[in-house]
Chain A
Amino acid sequence: MKKTLKCRKGGSPLLHSQPQEDFFSTVLGFFTSIKVAVVLLAVMTATYILSSLVPLGLPDSEYFKNYPALLAQIIVFLDFHHFYTSFWFIAPLILFFVNLTACSINRFSRHFTFPGKKRFGPDIIHLGLLCLIVAGGITCSGHSEKRIFLREGDVVTLPGNQSIHLNKFDYLTYDNGRDKDYTAFVTIQNLESSRIEKNQIKVNHPLMLKNVSVYLVNREAIARIVLAEPGGKQYFNYKEDRIPFKDGFLYFGGFLNPDSGNTESYTAHFEYWKDNKFLYSLDKKAGETVDLLTLLETSVVFIPQISIVADPVPIFIIFSFIIIGAGLALTYFQKLRDEK
């Protein structure tokens, strides 16, 4: 079959079979058009700006409460409050992906069909962007993240038959009270082989394990008390802990006067519960007793918030970045060479 070159107005030259002036080539021609690419980029730009102006993910009623009725109706009707799963985000992105794929195939075919200067830089950038969109899509569907606060001594099971045990949390501040550094000292245990490994996690330095990464993302101040049994055995308890007490439990609700500054004068608030029924409350200071237990110490300590992340394709995203970077560099140096 004889091949000819067809040039679309505003589009790229398109190789196709002459007798088949059909729907397929019209659609392909449409998608290789640079005008379509520019329109899609403009649509994406506009919708992204709009998405940043609307608070996302709130219940419908919140929009009717905070915005004029008509605007709220538009937001809810268009599903703009769930922008990143809505038609307005997904449709332009899919069309852009198709457009970029068609353009890339078209450009590559031109390089191999026609003589002349070959500029592979933009093609490599396009290829990298395609990889990035695919990797982003996979990450979106397979990414799981769980954020928890760990207290010294806590053990949490991780994916991949592993567990993490927080041994110690170091928290440093500058003279003006701002956070300087925090480090979580942990023990990772492989539950199959019983292999134990000691590690530390810092902000910006996650712990990369098999199938999972553990991040230190934040820290929080929490009320802590030390209780002692008559025999002298001591227990650390934190806010919202349930402490076995008589036939029920004591719920530690925190301090009544946490802003008093002096940790010695904090008043710990307890609630006694039995058979899921609240019976009475107790407010105690350090040195006082709660039945047979003695409240030895009241303090506010910092505990780390860790994020347990399972991401199927971080390496693909890095790979896409490398391709895009290589494409940008090649484009740049080709241009520079041409100018010389």
Chain B
Amino acid sequence: MILSIIGFIALIVSCIMQIVFIFMKSNKYDLFSHWLLLFAGIALIADIVYRSVLIEFIALTNMYESLVFFSAVISIVLFTFRLRLKEQSPQIIIFTASVVTVILLAIASSPIVPSDIMPPVPALQSSWLVLHISVTFVGESFFVIGFAAAVYYLLTKDDEKKKKIDSIMYRAIAIGYPIYTAGALIFGSIWAYYAWSRFWGWDPKEIFALVTWLVYTIYLHSRFIKKLRGNVSAMIVIAGFLLTLFTFFGVNYLLSGLHSYK
């Protein structure tokens, strides 16, 4: 828990630093905020490792652990994203994605998400499940960047800037999409086959994972249709991310199914 708190604090400090440099309209001198993101990611991963040692299994089997892991992956992806694009990376995109990460961790630390260290029930003791969850979150962390870029795209009026943001949005989704496909749909189906004897059962979680995938598929294909390029594409990406969040939270709390483990 202490490691998560350290990670949370590092993320907040990083956000504060980022916002200062956004107001200064330059990230030339922002040498640390992305390193803080990396540090936060490592601290959060360390928390998962610690919990894994305690339960003698990869600690990715409840909402708290999933949120911490998801936040860790987003932080690390944001760090590499910033490092790769250097000064070209629009600060607002990284800042928005960092804020999403802070919100996810805030939810993890809220009373609605119990943080008790609980060893997994038999159905969750599967390496396919670990692959399914971890790879899905890696894919979804790119969707967070896509979402941040889409929001920025809709708020920007400068055409040159829009072009650049569109390219970032597309790249984020183009990287996240295959990873999400493998994690959520392929590895998820294989786990379902071993656990429940069928690859697909139209469980609410499965339906919404598929719907999320379909929306991002629409986005990738909409780029070939002139009328759908630009604002519509950005709105599709936002819809895709909202569905990602609904698949993660909404289905668990609003729709019951096989993915609810007590």
The residue of chain A having its C-beta at the shortest distance from the C-beta of B194 within the complex is A204
Within the assembled complex, what's the spacing in Å between the Cα atoms of A324 and B199?
15
State how many residues of chain B have any CB contact under 8 Å with chain A. Answer: 41
CB pair B199 A139 closer than 8 Å? yes
Could you tell me the distance in whole angstroms from the C-beta of B29 to the nearest C-beta in chain A? 29
Q: Which residue of chain A has the shortest Cβ distance to B181 in the bound complex? A: A328
Contact partners of A136 in chain B: CB under 8 A = 199-200
Residues of B near any A CB (own CB < 8 A):
118-119, 121-123, 125-126, 128, 174-175, 178, 181-182, 186, 189-191, 193-200, 202, 204, 207-208, 210-211, 214-215, 217-218, 221-222, 224-225, 228, 255
B202/A84 in contact, CB under 8 A = yes
A52 within 8 A of B: yes
Check B121–A206 contact: CB distance below 8 A. no
Q: What is the size category of the interface that chain A forms with chain B?
A: 35 or more
Q: Chain A residues with Cβ under 8 A from B121's Cβ?
A: 178-180
A45 contact from B178, B195, B214, Cβ within 8 A? B214
Given A34-B225, A37-B221, A41-B217, A324 contacting B186 (CB threshold 8 A): yes
If over half of A's interface residues share one DSSP class (helix, strand or loop), that class is named, otherwise mixed; here it is helix
Within 8 Å by CB of A204, from B118, B123, B182, B210, lies B123
Q: Give the dominant DSSP class at B's interface.
A: helix
Given the known A-B contacts A205-B194, A215-B197, are A48 and B207 also in contact in the complex, defined by CB atoms under 8 Å? yes
Q: Is the CB of B225 within 8 A of A38?
A: yes
A299 contacts B by Cβ under 8 Å: no
In the complex, are the beta carbons of A203 and B122 less than 8 A apart? Answer: yes
B178 touches A329 (CB 8 A): yes
Among A51, A203, A206, A325, which residue has the most Cβ atoms of chain B within 10 A?
A: A203
- Asked if A309 and B181 make an inter-chain contact with CB atoms under 8 angstroms apart, the answer reads no
Q: At the interface, yes or no: A77 with Cβ under 8 Å from chain B? A: no
Report if A217-B197 is in contact (Cβ < 8 Å); known contacts: A48-B207, A180-B119: yes
Q: Which residues of B contact A176 (CB under 8 A)?
A: 118
**Contact present for B211 and A45 (CB under 8 Å):** yes
Chain B min CB distance to A36 (Å): 11
B261 to chain A, nearest CB (A): 10
Question: A6 near B: Cβ within 8 Å?
Answer: no
Of all chain B residues, which has the CB nearest A12?
B224
